[in-house]
Amino acid sequence: MDRLEYAGIGLLLLNLLLTYLAFQRDGNFSKWQLRVGDLNQGQWYRLFSSGFIHVDWTHFFFNMFSLFIFGGALERALGPILFVALYLVSLVGGNLLAWFYHRQEPEYRAVGASGAISGLIFSAIVLFPDMQLALLFLPFFFPAWIYGLLFLLYSMYGIGKQNDNIGHEAHLGGAVLGLMLTLILYPSLIEQHPLTILYLVVPTFVFLVILFYRPQLLKQVLAKPSDNYGVEDRYREERKGKEDELNRILAKVKEQGESSLSKAERDFLEGNF
């Protein structure tokens, strides 16, 4: 769309500062990232902190470029306070969905502002339903709601398939929270653009019901293991997970001292030495 306003610039600079600081010390990155095991131990601040650091500068650039594209018009439409609230609610909502889906995987990690950015994009889709988008590899524009629908379907597929390093859960959770919060703030949009909202809400609602009540169905349909996957492969995966956890705890001891360890981390060390 066009230039960022003050709140958008502030969010961009905060992302830049914390990402830079995370790169300066491994301890910062480890302390701020979303890790399911740490969330399960009550370190809920990671729901926020993980959204302001990135894997690398390319990851940072694409998220902040999206903030630049959509942020200005959204901030002028919502005002700076609601704009920041939308950003943070989408960020936390995306991370909560990621935690819920991976809550039995203590080593699952995630960083980045993608959940927040997804919330901004979906808010823009319902606030500006006539908006047209174009992708770099397509020579034409198309309605924004089509992008939103394809985005939702791809996120659903990615959550079930789990065959890449993309945080699809955070994307979907952020998009849903951004969409819902915008409709709560502006309920008249439902009457003004019912079809656009219907196209986005119905498949999302159905998928979330499956995700919360029948999560195994996704894994059975989309993430069926290969016929060549055997006991040895499972053993290697479990061993790799234990090695990663051991290295993380030892790095934590080096950075913060032995007193920083939780009971679960102490028990883990005792069982491996």
Q: Are residues 84 and 116 in the same domain?
A: yes
| Domain boundaries, position 244 | 231-270
Q: How confident is the model at residue 237 (pLDDT cuts 50, 70, 90)?
A: low
The answer to whether residues 121 and 155 belong to one domain is yes
138 domain residue, yes or no: yes
Return d(Cα 77, Cα 127) in angstroms, integer: 8
**How many structural domains is the chain composed of?**
2
User: In this structure, are 122 and 188 located in the same domain?
Assistant: yes
How many Cβ atoms sit within 10 Å of the Cβ of residue 243?
11
How far is residue 62's CA from residue 196's CA, in Å, rounded to a whole number? 26
Same domain, 215 and 240: no
Written as six digits, the tokens of 21 are 């600081």
Q: How does pLDDT run across 194-223, given as a tens digit for each residue?
A: 888 888 888 878 777 777 777 666 656 555
Q: Considering only CA atoms, which of 47, 204, 61, 177 is closest in space to residue 119?
A: 177
1 belongs to a structural domain: no
Determine which of 78-92, 170-184, 242-256 has the lowest per-residue pLDDT on average. 242-256
Indicate whether 176 and 118 sit together in one domain: yes
pTM: 0.75
Q: pLDDT digits over 256-269, tens only? A: 888 887 777 777 77
Checking DSSP bridges between strand 132-133 and strand 142-143, what pairing results, if any?
A: antiparallel
Report residue 164's pLDDT band, with 50, 70 and 90 as the boundaries. Answer: low
